[in-house]
C-alpha cells in the first residue's frame, strides 16, 4: 500500500517529498474536492520533484468533472503533457453510469493516445447522494468499461465528514476486492485521519490519499503541509 499526499504548491511538494511520500498529488482545493491546479504549476512541481527524488510519482487531478466528455478530454490531455504519472478525474456531475463511462472513455483515449504509460484514475464519491452523482458501488464497473487503471473513492463535500461516515468497512472491502478481481488498482481517500487509516489498512487498498491530516490545524484549505506529519503517517502505515 502506498500513501498519496495532495499538495497545492512547490513548498508543499518539497515538504511532502522530505516526509517520504511516494506519490505526490497536485490539486487546487479552492476549486473543489478534486479541484484542478494550473498546468504550468503541475509541470514545474513535477520537474523539481524528479530532481529531488527520481522515484517519486506525480498525480494531478483535472477537477470535479461535469458531464462534458470533450471538455474533460482536453483537460486530461493538458494534464498529461504536464509530465504526470496519474491523471485523476472526479465524476462529480455525472448522474448516470452511461454518462460517467462516456466521460471516462474520452479521458482515457486522450491520455493513452498521448502516453500509454500514464495511468487514469476514475474517482467517485462515497457521499454521492449529497451531490447527485453516480453511486460509489458503480465506480469499479465504470473504470473497467472506460479502460481506466485505478478506481478511487473520495468525499465530494468537504465538511469534516470522512469516507467512513458514508460507507462501512464491509462496503469498502467489497469495493477493494472488486477492483482487484478485475485487475484495477484501488484507492481510498476522503478526510481520513490516523484512526480511519488504521481501519482501512487491513482492506489492502493499493493507495490511500490524504491532505488535511498532514496539514497544520488539519485545514485542507488554509493549512500548510507539514513534512513531519507526512513522515509520521508513512511510518504508521509501514509498521502495520
Q: Which residues pair with 208 in a beta bridge?
A: 3, 188
- Orientation angle between helical segments 97-114 and 69-80, nearest 10 degrees: 30
Nearest CA to 3 among 27, 28, 20?
20
Backbone angles phi, psi at 144, to 5 degrees: -65, -50
Instruction: Decide if 233 contacts 3 (C-beta within 8 A).
Output: yes
Instruction: Please give the positions annotated as active site.
Output: 27, 88
* Beta carbons within 10 angstroms of residue 93's beta carbon: 15
Query: Assign residue 217 a region: left if phi > 0, alpha if psi is -120 to 50, beta otherwise?
Result: left
Nearest CA to 23 among 60, 61, 57, 51?
57
Residues 6+ apart with CB under 8 A from 61: 25, 26, 27, 34, 35, 36, 37, 79, 87, 88, 89, 90, 123
Instruction: Decide if 2 contacts 22 (C-beta within 8 A).
Output: yes
H or E element that contains 151: strand 150-154
Amino acid at each position: 500500500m502506498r500513501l498519496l499526499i495532495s499538495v497545492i504548491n512547490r513548498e508543499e511538494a518539497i515538504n511532502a517529498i522530505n516526509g517520504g511520500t511516494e506519490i505526490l498529488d497536485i490539486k487546487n482545493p479552492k476549486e473543489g474536492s478534486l479541484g484542478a491546479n494550473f498546468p504550468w504549476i503541475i509541470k514545474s512541481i513535477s520537474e523539481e520533484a524528479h530532481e529531488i527524488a527520481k522515484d517519486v510519482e506525480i498525480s494531478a487531478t483535472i477537477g470535479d468533472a461535469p458531464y462534458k466528455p470533450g471538455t474533460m478530454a482536453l483537460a486530461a490531455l493538458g494534464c498529461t503533457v504536464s509530465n504526470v504519472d496519474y491523471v485523476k478525474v472526479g465524476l462529480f456531475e455525472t448522474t448516470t453510469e452511461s454518462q460517467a463511462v462516456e466521460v471516462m472513455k474520452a479521458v482515457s483515449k486522450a491520455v493513452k493516445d498521448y502516453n500509454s504509460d500514464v495511468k487514469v484514475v476514475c474517482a467517485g464519491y462515497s457521499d454521492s447522494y449529497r451531490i447527485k452523482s453516480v453511486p460509489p458501488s458503480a465506480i469499479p464497473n465504470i473504470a473497467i468499461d472506460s479502460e481506466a487503471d485505478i478506481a478511487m473513492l473520495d468525499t465530494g463535500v468537504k465538511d469534516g465528514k470522512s469516507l467512513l461516515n458514508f460507507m462501512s468497512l464491509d462496503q469498502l472491502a467489497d469495493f477493494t476486492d472488486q477492483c482487484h478481481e478485475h485487475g484495477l488498482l484501488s484507492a481510498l481517500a476522503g478526510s481520513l485521519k490516523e484512526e480511519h487509516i488504521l481501519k482501512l489498512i487491513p482492506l489492502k487498498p493499493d493507495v490511500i490519499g490524504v491532505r488535511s491530516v498532514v496539514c497544520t490545524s488539519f485545514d485542507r484549505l488554509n493549512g500548510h503541509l507539514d513534512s513531519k506529519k507526512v513522515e509520521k503517517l508513512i511510518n504508521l502505515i509501514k509498521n502495520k
